[in-house]
Structure 1
């Protein structure tokens, strides 16, 4: 009697303590995300996605921008989150979205990992290892934690779904992966394929096919919300046009993500080393029921990589049919493995440490120290780089010549030009709409997702960027002739031109136009960016 009366209060007291530990760990994971990403906006893709999201809800914002008027490939993201961009500034919207995604990923990640290992702080340790792994061991440039965009929400629901599969809730797992697919067709869709592969290779853990049919059908129906609009983007497009659009998308614009034979050798070697290390740890955990499910999913992602490589090699080097290759390689075969291999390796290492740490104490300690040093040094370098960066990741990534002068110029444009004006903007930037909030004829970063607009985007690049290179061998728009600018004004409605004078001076290409320079106003002022008004 005494035992029961003393044990019950102890059990009641433990539950709140466990909840507090859980929420403290989740907060620590979110803090890790904040340190990892850094304090600046926009991230590499935020200007691209959030501008599209604002235009989705307010078509009168930058009404004549070609990219913003192109097809919407991520309608669920724009519909569910985009309205926030109409209420607050882009940086505020980005931070709201980041916090939503980071908290959601932290919760679903921790819920997933503790089903495999209940080591203290496994969620935080595993995420630190996983982030370092994704950052340094990826092959095709995929990332997990960064700015807000559709795939952040997709990964949230993917981790949630994997956690349900680990818990034996397979029907709900399919439904959650269907939601992930609605947000981002490729992230969610490939996760569905990987879980299906896991179901095939894990006979002891899998439920019967009949029992999971309701979840498969429900998840598939939800996924159609994202899949159907994407398929309709190219309805009525001629097959030849579609093939060439895929070619330009894959081999010209995004070959660094999609064409494995163009990847740097170092990237391929480090990913191969990570995959081999994961394979060894997966084999050591082959009798671990929960880890086997996770590793079945990771194995599915590795199989996708092998299929992508086979497509690349067969169509490009055997058949030499690059148009056919592009149609298939456009599906981002390497995306999921870039994330799941480092994550699987991290979780496996923690599970092995928990299982065998006492038995093989010396080896476990050596492994723990080695892994900790790799993670600590790698994360320190990454965090230091982000917190000492002179400009936002988007400006750094697109090699903006002078980020401070660029922002100052954009803000002047925002405050001193008509809201419906159309601009020619420097090739080496992706943030004009973010800062200046004005339409552009074309920008390299903003590639449309529908084929006809993608073909038009390439023509526009030829008319603007490549014409400047052809005329005077410079990436600066100073390479355009006055006749070129007049032609572009007539064709695309251009009212202003922003010239990168840093590149123009470097290439010794002065502006040879009679158009008035309206920024800077003082004719004696030298500036790294100049704005010209196109006049008759």
Structure 2
């Protein structure tokens, strides 16, 4: 029995790690059914690319905003293939995008192939977050592509190539402003705590501003003009945070109302933050220390946002998914 197990492990370790990462993610997300988000966003994309698709149907029209790249490409593709075909192809594409940075990260951490497969499988099949119902691997949508670029950025961050890390973070913002945007804040907080050379940080910040200027100009015209937060006496951000998306954004409200499941989830998140502190203090591996520091910054942002929710009863801040 031991020989069979050893042979199996040896076989896994001989396979290219990128192939293994792709296989785990693609098989875990493979389905002939669309997710709820895929149904919604594919409809918006098709209606954007073909305004005459269903004449007079106002409910399928939505300004692309931050989804402009996704809606343009996917909307065009839906002119030639079905929703299910695009979903399958998109999930395969996302699995490929993730396979490269994940394999680089696992190699940097000196994990064997079997260890990497085990860790990724455990993460992919779980809820992928302690609270707030956020996820990375599940379907094909614009935020999933953004997360792939975030992983590239993390790899180059621990490789101490900060400028390249920022460039990939900019790519993440182009596909999802909130995913990439919150990550960029953590990235520059990391640069301050690590006391990276000021010139390097400044050049990286200017590079980021230059890369994002076209997107900023486009979004300013969509969201900063004629976009009131109160319509007919109703606060739009309150409806969005506490009516439409309470599973993502009303975590503090659930805590205050004694939701035991959420309390356990938040406690687990706090425990993992504490484990990062312990690991950062004891481990001498630069890559692990870098990941722990970045994780601590993200945990700090997460719990700060929880506290602000006590006062943000109208969802003015929460609507940005902090």
Within the candidate set 238, 247, 259, 1:247 is matched to: 238
> 1:312 — aligned with what?
309
Distance in 2 of aligned mates of 1:268 and 1:117: 35
User: What is the total number of aligned residue pairs between the two structures?
Assistant: 302
Distance in 1 of aligned mates of 2:246 and 2:215: 25
- Name the SS for the 1:92 alignment partner: helix
Q: Deviation string for 1:273-329 (max 9, x for gaps)?
A: 2441353244224333111221222112212212211211124xxxxxx33xx1111
> 1:261 — aligned with what?
252
Within the candidate set 279, 286, 305, 1:284 is matched to: 279
Using the TM superposition, give the Cα deviation of residue 41 of structure 1 relative to its aligned residue in structure 2, in angstroms: 1.9
Within the candidate set 133, 139, 142, 2:131 is matched to: 139
Using the TM superposition, give the Cα deviation of residue 38 of structure 1 relative to its aligned residue in structure 2, in angstroms: 4.1
Q: Deviation string for 1:32-79 (max 9, x for gaps)?
A: 223323422201310111111122221111232324322213112222
Residue pair 2:17, 2:113 contacting (<8 A) in 1 also: no
Determine whether 1:330 maps to 2:319.
yes
Distance in 2 of aligned mates of 1:22 and 1:209: 43
Within the candidate set 212, 227, 234, 1:237 is matched to: 227
Q: CA RMSD in A?
A: 2.4
TM-score when normalising by structure 2: 0.85
Per the alignment, do residues 66 and 162 of structure 1 end up closer, same or farther by CA in structure 2, a change over 3 Å counting? same
Per the alignment, do residues 226 and 128 of structure 1 end up closer, same or farther by CA in structure 2, a change over 3 Å counting? farther
Gaps of 5+ in 2: 1-11
Distance in 1 of aligned mates of 2:22 and 2:149: 17
Deviates more, 1:112-121 or 1:90-99: 112-121
Distance in 2 of aligned mates of 1:309 and 1:103: 34
Distance in 2 of aligned mates of 1:67 and 1:212: 44
Determine whether 1:302 maps to 2:299.
yes
> 1:8 — aligned with what?
none
> 1:173 — aligned with what?
165
Distance in 2 of aligned mates of 1:239 and 1:270: 32
Distance in 2 of aligned mates of 1:165 and 1:144: 20
Within the candidate set 201, 212, 217, 2:206 is matched to: 217
Determine whether 1:82 maps to 2:75.
yes
Distance in 1 of aligned mates of 2:253 and 2:55: 37
Per the alignment, do residues 21 and 51 of structure 1 end up closer, same or farther by CA in structure 2, a change over 3 Å counting? farther
Distance in 2 of aligned mates of 1:149 and 1:276: 31
Deviates more, 1:194-203 or 1:93-102: 194-203
Richer in helix (by share): 2
Using the TM superposition, give the Cα deviation of residue 244 of structure 1 relative to its aligned residue in structure 2, in angstroms: 1.4
- Name the SS for the 1:330 alignment partner: helix
Structure with bigger gyration radius: 1
Distance in 1 of aligned mates of 2:111 and 2:121: 16
Distance in 2 of aligned mates of 1:81 and 1:223: 22
> 2:185 — aligned with what?
193
- Name the SS for the 1:162 alignment partner: helix
Residue pair 1:197, 1:296 contacting (<8 A) in 2 also: no
> 1:113 — aligned with what?
106
Residue pair 2:44, 2:60 contacting (<8 A) in 1 also: yes
> 1:104 — aligned with what?
97
Residue pair 1:158, 1:177 contacting (<8 A) in 2 also: yes
> 1:153 — aligned with what?
145
Distance in 1 of aligned mates of 2:242 and 2:145: 28
Distance in 1 of aligned mates of 2:14 and 2:277: 27
Per the alignment, do residues 128 and 120 of structure 1 end up closer, same or farther by CA in structure 2, a change over 3 Å counting? same
Residue pair 1:251, 1:259 contacting (<8 A) in 2 also: yes
Distance in 1 of aligned mates of 2:133 and 2:105: 24
Distance in 1 of aligned mates of 2:101 and 2:191: 21
> 1:35 — aligned with what?
27
Using the TM superposition, give the Cα deviation of residue 251 of structure 1 relative to its aligned residue in structure 2, in angstroms: 1.4
Per the alignment, do residues 176 and 289 of structure 1 end up closer, same or farther by CA in structure 2, a change over 3 Å counting? same
Using the TM superposition, give the Cα deviation of residue 140 of structure 1 relative to its aligned residue in structure 2, in angstroms: 0.4
Per the alignment, do residues 332 and 239 of structure 1 end up closer, same or farther by CA in structure 2, a change over 3 Å counting? closer
Distance in 2 of aligned mates of 1:23 and 1:44: 35
